[in-house]
Structure 1
């Protein structure tokens, strides 16, 4: 037999409280709906104001130069300007976290480099930083790392550098980005492949710090892309010894790929453009189209190859799969090296 139903009575004050909470919840739901609606309405007229483009490295490095070049061309297609803002720190996490917390309406975007995709997620280094908070727009470059030496070092070939490291272990000073970065991983793999030991010195921030160290004689060599060192290579203050790739870089025919020495070591960086995760798809499509047009211009293609960087386009629909594959293969190598 079912228990009798006992009627429940509430006071007048309780009823008022329940009514207020119901209205509050409805108001929050309406506010959220209005926010989505307002962002969607902007899509048709996008952009409605200047676009903020965050470069998570200090000014002066390769990523900064490439960002400024492609944005100077891209903004010619838009009714508004694109201004680059350098926000360095925490191996790109500081600037990119600001990007992900911006209103997702396409007016704040930023770039990811190797550390953004590999180093930070691998170590779960910065609370709140996650690729899940981003929506990829495109990849515009993919470039190999290289070993560059200063003119004052006296080294003129890759063989000379390796021989010196063999004869005097731990004395040849070579600059790289901090532990966990692509260049750091590259030097440890090179040591293992050649049986040598370098004096590895890490430099946080962009490659401009390594450039200064090379010029001052603080280090004899450094690892980053040839594009990052294009200025001192052109001036003759530095020399490219080897590129960590399996194919010849046509922009630097004098710098051989390391595969010619029988070493399988391919590492490098890239630039991926991204927006906050809730950015509407039609705005992402507009941005992707804008950057693709800029990417395809003779001006950008000629400039990017002139500084030794390989233009390499992937659209929004393909970047996620490429990032997943890159993480999988890189983390496997890092596990093998105990890094």
Structure 2
């Protein structure tokens, strides 16, 4: 009797599943608008880049992608808010070198960048430079360092929050040269450049700078990347200047860990397609930032490698705050 009853229940459940169809997945995704939380103020290259991609993927995804700015704490507020959202692919966030590499290693953040975050793709390689105003007395990095040695802590510089990657590079510079600077945090590259141009600080490190260099408002003393930037062929790298530091090119899109694999792949396909298009490359080139595309798997592998490298650097330089 019980066996007959169990068989009846099993048959009824099978019929219900057949009528209801398979569980919702990528085939039904997205059914409504998506949201991308950006960890910077509007106007910086992270913000501009993702807004362009959001516009471009709408046709492939069939739904709008709404961009929302939540600046603060080196971009970690945006990630923290995202990981509290359902892991259904509808809430995403931008990440940068500062938010998923430097900040988690140097400050206390409420997430693990390797366990709590699902990487979707990387869309840009921000070439970072140490910048001064065009009318600055500093014409070389060596002159800046010499003045800092003569006046410890007197020279102010702007960073994206307290523990951004640019600031990390300046700490490496300070350690290598035996000098100290006065760090002043801001909430994005747009604010950093405003602070520099207004005279609030004497230098900054950021990626959104070529238009101001071309307009004779800024001058680059060094680049933080592993090689010289094509737009500044005469500007030395940090390593060429005796500082063992190169800037990781992380500027991408993430979802909460646990997002279904098929939905993650659908998001990856749409955003990678847009980022690899001539239209996006031209958009970024006009802002003098290289489009640097990594897939989900490539970005995940790169993050695991970078965390190991920078954990060692944090211990070596004593950068933990």
2:248 maps to 1:265: no
Q: Given that residues 126 and 251 in structure 2 are in contact (C-alpha distance below 8 angstroms), is that contact kept between their aligned partners in structure 1?
A: no
2:311 maps to 1:311: no
Q: Which runs of 5+ in 1 are unaligned?
A: 1-29
1:43 aligns with one of 1, 23, 26:
26
Aligned to 2:60: 77
How do residues 1-339 of structure 1 correspond to structure 2 at under 5 angstroms?
A: 40-123=23-106, 125-127=108-110, 129-131=111-113, 132-195=115-178, 197-225=179-207, 228-339=208-319
In 2, the alpha carbon distance for the partners of 1:180 and 1:292 equals 29
SS in 2 for 1:308: coil
Q: CA offset at residue 252 of structure 1?
A: 3.3
Q: Given that residues 182 and 269 in structure 1 are in contact (C-alpha distance below 8 angstroms), is that contact kept between their aligned partners in structure 2?
A: no
Aligned to 2:6: none
Change (3 A) 1:290 1:200: same
Structure 1 stretches of at least 4 aligned residues deviating more than 4 Å after TM superposition? 37-40
In 2, the alpha carbon distance for the partners of 1:61 and 1:116 equals 15
CA offsets 1:91-149 (integer angstroms, 9 cap, x no match): 3232222212223222221111123212343256234x333222111122233421000
Q: Given that residues 36 and 65 in structure 2 are in contact (C-alpha distance below 8 angstroms), is that contact kept between their aligned partners in structure 1?
A: yes
Q: Given that residues 160 and 185 in structure 2 are in contact (C-alpha distance below 8 angstroms), is that contact kept between their aligned partners in structure 1?
A: yes
In 2, the alpha carbon distance for the partners of 1:276 and 1:307 equals 30
SS in 2 for 1:162: helix
In 2, the alpha carbon distance for the partners of 1:142 and 1:171 equals 32
Q: CA offset at residue 266 of structure 1?
A: 1.0
SS in 1 for 2:293: strand
Q: Given that residues 148 and 239 in structure 1 are in contact (C-alpha distance below 8 angstroms), is that contact kept between their aligned partners in structure 2?
A: yes
Q: Given that residues 42 and 105 in structure 1 are in contact (C-alpha distance below 8 angstroms), is that contact kept between their aligned partners in structure 2?
A: no
TM-score, scaled relative to structure 2:
0.84
In 1, the alpha carbon distance for the partners of 2:248 and 2:199 equals 25
In 1, the alpha carbon distance for the partners of 2:220 and 2:21 equals 52
Aligned to 1:19: none
Q: CA offset at residue 73 of structure 1?
A: 1.9
Superposition CA RMSD, Å: 2.6
TM-score, scaled relative to structure 1:
0.80
Q: Given that residues 165 and 171 in structure 1 are in contact (C-alpha distance below 8 angstroms), is that contact kept between their aligned partners in structure 2?
A: yes
Change (3 A) 1:212 1:124: closer
Q: CA offset at residue 58 of structure 1?
A: 1.6
Change (3 A) 1:254 1:302: farther
Change (3 A) 1:242 1:137: same
